């Protein structure tokens, strides 16, 4: 077990949190303690916010190129500790180490680098008639990050907020705090001015609540469940804070007739099973034409058999455990209720014997003949459970895909890209991949409906952390 010798980071130094409660992050594979942190109290939060407000004046006034240089230093520091970060995340989260290196660490490093480069071309000012429109830092940001992509979601908030000239108080998830502690060490080594970045570990009910409701916070950026997002909006409304939310999803992959069925099914299974299904944008509903349905089932089953569960730190492992015993039981509950509701268990399930003897594992599960309005087709299960639905014609497929309170992601497969693009325009969701196109970290990421508010990444991620000021200039007299 790693015991944190220092717990809160602000004012450019490590200070012992004043709370008496110790929070233990478990290794979901060994079921043993992995990281220990002391919970930050409301008094600690108040101290950190005050220091962030003090630092805001000079940081926001700093020349943009200097802020970009600090971001580059942090990116370099992360790259030098990439393996440490990957192993920390794999140990606390359970994601296979190969995937951690590529997704959980390399992507956040690139986000820092891309944001630093973007600052030079960002339109900090522009003329509109006789007005000068300025984009200025929005203030002090409360960043509350989740456990499933701990470093990526931290950086998706930190990089644009700091680049825009904001200062930040970060509360990472208490389930995966190790990478946040390392990141604070990297910020410290990079010489980022005191008070610009502040870390207050703790649970949501104590530390998080104190942070998002603090009167000294100007912007709240939260990633997590829709239920908690609603609560944060209510708390932030008391002081009219700007709120940016990235919440749940129940995304559909639609396979139109004439598409490459083998590729589309393989893509959907890989998306759904990534990080043991603990991905908000996972493609958890697979919509296939009735004529192709039986073949799609065979393809999905074959793909699921390639997933090897085991030790996340073993290079051969393809599927790790889920985050906790309670989360495993929650996923199993969804599957059992789905079967009771008429779905067919086609692979996996709660009683699957092909799992390691310890660890919080859920077998990769395939449910067939799921009704569009069933709980398993509507609720975010957040586990390795793929729901297969059949449709009669493309209009039917669009209606099923859009029949959700969420709208975060989606995919469309068709015989040609033009057909896929035309169908993608019909989907009420924040991003859609057509015919297997790759994720683009420079494009805006976020959702429609109850999947959230605002966007992350690229130019649009910066927009979330600036205020607009119109300065009317005297017009010359003719």
Q: Walk along the chain (478 residues) and give the pLDDT tens digit of each residue.
A: 554 444 677 666 777 777 778 999 999 999 999 999 999 999 999 999 999 999 999 999 999 999 999 999 999 999 999 999 999 999 999 999 999 999 999 999 999 999 999 999 999 999 999 999 999 999 999 999 999 999 999 999 999 999 999 999 999 999 999 999 999 999 999 999 999 999 999 999 999 999 999 999 999 999 999 999 999 999 999 999 999 999 999 999 999 999 999 999 999 999 999 999 999 999 999 999 999 999 999 999 999 999 989 999 999 999 999 999 999 999 999 999 999 999 999 999 999 988 999 999 999 999 999 999 999 999 999 999 999 999 999 999 999 999 999 999 999 999 999 999 999 999 999 999 999 999 999 999 999 999 999 999 999 999 999 999 999 999 865 5
Q: Are 258 and 418 in contact (CB under 8 A)?
A: no
Contact partners, residue 158, CB within 8 Å, separation at least 6 = 143, 168, 170, 197
What order do you get walking across the sheet with 2-3 strand by strand? 2-3, 33-38, 22-26
Q: Is residue 48 part of a domain?
A: yes
Q: Are 72 and 113 in contact (CB under 8 A)?
A: yes
Predicted pLDDT at 7: 60
Give the DSSP H or E segment for 53: helix 42-61
Predicted pLDDT at 40: 94
Q: Are residues 282 and 263 in the same domain?
A: yes
Q: Is residue 477 part of a domain?
A: no
Q: Are residues 289 and 272 in the same domain?
A: yes
Query: Which CATH number characterizes residue 334's domain?
Result: 3.40.309.10
Q: How is residue 106 written in tokens?
A: 């390399």
- Give 433's strand partners: 411
Active-site residue, selected from the candidate residues 39, 113, 209, 246: 246
Q: Is residue 475 part of a domain?
A: no
The Cα 164–Cα 180 span in angstroms is 21
The Cα 136–Cα 124 span in angstroms is 7
3-state secondary structure of 426: coil
Q: Are residues 200 and 346 in the same domain?
A: no
SS3 content of the chain, % helix, strand, coil (to 5): 40, 20, 40
State which residues form the domain around 359: 251-440
Q: Is residue 11 part of a domain?
A: yes
Q: Are residues 356 and 383 in the same domain?
A: yes
Residues 352, 356, 359, 364: is their CA dihedral positive or negative? negative
The Cα 235–Cα 243 span in angstroms is 10
Q: Are residues 319 and 373 in the same domain?
A: yes
Q: Are residues 269 and 185 in the same domain?
A: no
Q: Return the number of other C-beta atoms located less than 10 Å from residue 19's C-beta.
A: 22
Q: Are residues 142 and 231 in the same domain?
A: yes
Q: Are residues 186 and 56 in the same domain?
A: yes
Q: Are residues 267 and 182 in the same domain?
A: no
Q: What is the dihedral of CA 401, 407, 410, 414, to 10 degrees?
A: 50
Q: Is residue 305 part of a domain?
A: yes
Query: Which CATH number characterizes residue 91's domain?
Result: 3.40.605.10
The Cα 315–Cα 240 span in angstroms is 48
Q: Is residue 429 part of a domain?
A: yes
Any catalytic annotation for residue 69? no
Sequential DSSP letters for 207-260:
IIHHHHT-TT--EEEEES-HHHHHHHHHHHHTTT-EEEEE----EEEEE-TTS-
Predicted pLDDT at 475: 82
Q: Are residues 430 and 287 in the same domain?
A: yes
Q: Are residues 255 and 243 in the same domain?
A: no
Q: Are residues 201 and 273 in the same domain?
A: no
**Residue 1 burial (C-beta neighbours within 10 Å; 0-12, 13-18, 19+):** exposed
Any catalytic annotation for residue 185? no
Active-site residue, selected from the candidate residues 280, 387, 419, 456: 280
Q: Is residue 345 part of a domain?
A: yes
Sequential DSSP letters for 350-384:
TT-S-S-SSS-----EEEES--TTSHHHHS---SS
Q: What is the total count of domains within the chain?
A: 2
Q: Is residue 279 part of a domain?
A: yes
Q: What is the dihedral of CA 35, 41, 47, 48, to 10 degrees?
A: 40
């Amino acid at each position: 077990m790693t015991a944190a010798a220092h717990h809160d980071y602000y004012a450019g130094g490590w200070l012992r949190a004043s709370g008496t409660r110790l929070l233990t992050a478990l290794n979901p594979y060994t079921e043993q303690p992995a990281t220990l942190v002391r919970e930050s109290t409301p008094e600690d939060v108040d101290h950190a916010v005050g220091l962030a407000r003090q630092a805001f004046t000079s940081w926001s006034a700093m020349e943009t190129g200097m802020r970009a240089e600090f971001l580059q230093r942090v990116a370099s520091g992360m790259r030098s500790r990439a393996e440490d970060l990957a192993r920390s995340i794999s140990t606390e989260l359970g994601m296979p180490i190969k995937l951690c290196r590529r997704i959980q660490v390399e992507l956040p490093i690139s986000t820092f680098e891309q944001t630093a480069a973007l600052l030079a071309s960002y339109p900090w000012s522009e003329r509109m008639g006789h007005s000068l429109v300025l984009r200025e830092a929005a203030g002090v940001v409360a960043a509350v990050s989740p456990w499933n992509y701990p470093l990526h979601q931290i950086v998706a908030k930190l990089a644009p907020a700091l680049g825009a000239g904001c200062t930040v108080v970060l509360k990472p998830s208490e389930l995966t705090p190790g990478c946040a502690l390392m990141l604070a060490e990297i910020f410290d080594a990079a010489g980022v001015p005191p008070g610009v970045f502040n870390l207050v570990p703790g649970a949501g009910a104590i530390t998080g609540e104190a942070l998002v409701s603090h009167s000294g916070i100007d912007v709240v950026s939260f990633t997590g469940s829709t239920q908690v997002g609603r609560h944060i909006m209510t708390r932030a409304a008391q002081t009219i804070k700007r709120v940016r939310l990235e919440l749940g999803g129940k995304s559909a992959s639609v396979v139109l007739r004439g598409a490459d069925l083998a590729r589309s099914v393989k893509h959907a299974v890989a998306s759904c099973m990534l990080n043991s299904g603990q991905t908000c944008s996972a493609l958890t509903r697979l919509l296939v034409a009735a004529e192709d349905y039986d073949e799609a089932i065979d393809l999905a089953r074959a793909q699921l058999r390639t997933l090897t569960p085991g030790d996340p730190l073993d290079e051969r492992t393809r599927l790790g455990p889920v985050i906790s015993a309670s989360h495993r039981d929650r996923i199993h509950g969804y599957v059992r209720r789905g079967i009771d509701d008429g779905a067919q268990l086609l692979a996996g399930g709660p009683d699957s014997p092909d799992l390691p003897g310890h660890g919080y594992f859920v077998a990769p599960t395939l449910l067939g003949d799921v009704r569009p309005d069933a709980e398993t087709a509507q609720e975010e299960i957040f586990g390795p459970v793929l729901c297969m639905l059949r449709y009669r014609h493309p209009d039917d497929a669009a209606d099923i895909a859009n029949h959700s309170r969420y709208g975060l992601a989606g995919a469309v497969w068709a015989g040609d890209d033009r057909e896929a693009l035309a169908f993608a325009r019909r989907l009420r969701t924040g991003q859609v991949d057509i015919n297997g196109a790759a994720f683009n970290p420079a494009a805006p990421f976020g959702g429609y409906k109850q999947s959230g508010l605002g966007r992350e990444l690229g130019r649009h991620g910066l927009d979330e952390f600036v205020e607009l000021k119109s300065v009317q200039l005297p017009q010359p007299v003719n």
